[in-house]
Each structure stands twice: as C-alpha cells, then as structure tokens.
Amino acid sequence: MKSEIGQVPFGPRPVDQSASSGPLGFWRFEKRAKRSARELIVIVAVVVPVIASFTAAGYAGKHDRVLQTRLSYGSTAPAVARLTAHRTTLIGSARAGTYRLIIEPNDGLSPIYRFISSARRSLEMTMYELNDPHADTLLAADAERGVDVRVILDRHYEQSANQPAFAYLTHHRVHVRWAPSSYDLTHQKSIVVDNKEALILTMNLTRQYYSSSRDVGVFDSNLADVRAIADVFNHDFAGDRSSPEPSGADLVWSPGADARLVRLIDSARHRLFVEDEEMSEYTIVDALCAAARRGVNVEVVMTRQSSWYSNFNKLVRAGVHLRTYAPSARIYIHAKLIDVDPGYRDGQVDIGSQNFSWASLEYNRELGIILRSAAIEKEVAKVVAHDFAGGRPWTA
C-alpha cells in the first residue's frame, strides 16, 4: 500500500539526530467487473476454508491482521530486486502479549492513523519529531471526543520542527509537554492507547519521508510492556528527574541500552541481519566483527554517510557482508533492527529507536523491543534480504 501522503522529491535527506553534543556525541541531520459465476465459486471454495482455518487458530480481533508486503517505491538502485508480493500472518505471541509488525513504506500510514483514532479513554505519545498535519488532526479529534491525549515532543534538537504541532495540539485541548532536559534528547517514538496496546516505532511522524524511508514498527499488547511504557511516560511528562528504572522484560530502554544490544549480537550463532542509520559506537562494531569471525553470516544494510566509512571498512575486513545505498537513493535506511538467527529456535529480533551511537544508547531517551516471534523474525529477515539485494557491496 502506498503512503497516502504522496511522493516527495528524492534526494539526500537529513539523518536522525540521535547523536548529540553530549559526551562522544556528534551532530547528525535528520532532516525519508464483474466476476463470472465460475469465478465466484472459486472464490468461495478458496476463501471459506481460509477463514475457517484462521478461526480455528484463534485469529480474531480488529487489530489482528495479515500483512501483505508490496514494494511501492519501485526500483531504488540499478541492482534492486523487487520483493514478490506475499501474505503472511504476523501474530507472534510471547508471554501474555501479542505482537504485530508493520513495514514502511510498504504499509503506508493507515495502520498508525487507525491506531490513533481507536483511542477511547487515553492516548500517550512520545515523538522525536511530529510533522504530520493529519496525525495532528486525529489527535485533536481524540481530545474533542473526550480522550485524555498527552504528547511529549523533543525540544533539544527539534523544537523548531515540532513547534507547529505543539501549538496546534495545545489549541485543540491536547496536553503537550516538551521533553525533559534529563536526556541529551528524546528520540523515542511510541504511542500507547487506552493502556491496552503500545506501538513502538523506528520512524518519526514526519510526512515528507513517509514514501521513501525504510522503517518498521511493532504493536505490543503485552500488558507488562504497556504498563512500563505508560509509567515512564508519566514520569517524563511530569519532568520528573527521578524517573523509575524502566521495566518491561521485552523492552530496551536508553539510557543504558549498549550492553543489552551487545549481548543480543553476541548471542547470534548462525545468521545476523542488521539495519541501522548510524555506525559509530565501537562496542556494536566490535560485536558485529566478532560475530562474523566466529562464522556467523552477518549482513548489514545502511545508507552510506562518510562518518561511518572507517567502521564500514572494519566490518568488511572482519567478514561482515555490508551493502549500502546512496543518500540520494529512492529508499533511505532509517530502520533500527537486529535480527538474530531467524528461522532457528533461539531466534530473536530487536526493533526500536536506538541508533548505533554512544549518545543514542547511553544519553538519549530511546525505546526498543526484543521479540521472540518466528513470524516477525521471518518477515524482518525478508525485508533485510530485499534491501541487501538492492544495495551496493562495500569494499574496504
């Protein structure tokens, strides 16, 4: 599904500013008819058994979905391989929760817009950059019908970009706060609806990049996770410097994410698929190199920036398979994901806002989630494989 926002001119885009002016941080730029009776009989013969099988499997609920992955952005580079359209049920249950995946720009913003509009009692959003008038309108509509809507926006790097949304939402009875100064910046991208389900994103709600940015998101209805995200939101919204130790067994919080992600990479035994926007943190680079040296098939896809070239060379010399896209390519790798051993029993995948920089991992407010879901791991692996096929091999 194409993004309903429409196409934007392709060209170099600013990268996410999760690196900061704090210790070891640095600036980055954010700124990605009719059928015959025979045909009807065939449809009935095919669809009815499928519906029955879904019902037997417990496929229910308005948010449970079948993801149809279709590339809508066309050829992104001379060697791009188109991903064959496929349908895969993406319901991965772990503990008490259900996780659902969205892939951008394939799915468009409709799943996110529907989620915002589904709120009946409360909605909490933390967003690094909010520059989407339609999303603003939906949040205002929620508030108009009595939903308690609260929003945190970053002001340390993105105050000017976020100011129009801040003003509009405030005027429409949405409770908006600037992110607390406790962190170098608030780079988290999440939405909680009715304290029942959360959406954890790698993307900002910035409409100019919807049609060109590779991103992913996870709907999480694990109540322990939802409560943890809501609890941290409450403290950040209040500007409480004594924010509680973030919880949620599946969640990866920054500050403090570096060691957790290194352990995740270290757990790989067979395959390791990675996409990220930055590659500056040496602990991550060293862990990827170590994985390749112990025989893991490590594949990394990024949009190339000169800041990462030395680490690109280090990765390739260690045996990592690295492919990159030019900043002017029609697809921009903005996703932040680590897919460990997809297809194997111990497989797991990390999806979130953390970039591979010290500032992002240890100084910013960030949020990710590590899942054990064979279906989601498989889908993420397909996305990386597609992007890898279209990238240019990096040679040291």
Token reading at 114: 């529907």
Look at residue 87 and tell me whether its pLDDT is greater than 80.
Answer: no
Would you say residue 213 has pLDDT above 80?
yes
Q: Indicate whether 252 pLDDT > 60.
A: yes
How does the average pLDDT of the chain come out, rounded?
A: 81
C-alpha 228/C-alpha 242 separation (Å) is 15
| Virtual torsion, Cα 382, 385, 386, 388, nearest 10 deg | 160
Query: Which residues are 338's β-sheet partners?
Result: 274, 350
Instruction: Write the class of the CATH domain 253-393.
Output: alpha beta
- CA–CA separation, 366 and 190 (whole Å): 10
pLDDT in tens, 32-62: 333 333 344 333 343 434 334 333 333 333 3
Q: Compute the distance between CA of residue 296 and CA of residue 86 in angstroms, rounded to an integer.
A: 28
Confidence of residue 15 (pLDDT cuts 50, 70, 90): low
The mean per-residue pLDDT over the stretch 298-327 comes to 98
Task: Return the pLDDT at 347.
Answer: 94
Say yes or no: do domains 66-250 and 253-393 share a fold.
yes
376 Cβ contact list (under 8 Å, min separation 6): 90, 92, 99, 101, 218, 349
- Domain 66-250 falls under CATH 3.30.870.10: yes
Q: What is the pLDDT of residue 240?
A: 78
* Distance from C-alpha of 267 to C-alpha of 208, rounded to nearest angstrom: 37
pLDDT confidence of 247, banded at 50, 70, 90? confident
Alpha helices in 97-248 (DSSP H): 110-117, 133-144, 159-171, 223-237
Coil/strand/helix, residue 22:
coil
Handedness of CA 61, 230, 133, 154 (dihedral sign): negative
Please check the confidence at residue 13 and state whether its pLDDT lies above 80: no
At 30 the pLDDT is 40
Per-residue pLDDT of 116-158, as tens digits, reads 999 999 999 999 999 999 999 999 999 999 999 999 999 999 9
Q: What is the pLDDT of residue 21?
A: 39
Residue 20 in this model has a pLDDT that exceeds 70: no
Q: What is the pLDDT of residue 396?
A: 81
Domain chopping of the chain, boundaries: 66-250, 253-393
Contacts within 8 Å (CB) and 24+ apart, 54-62: 54/89, 59/89, 59/91
Both tokens of 253, joined, read 């919080």
Q: Whose structure tokens read 């009935």?
A: 44
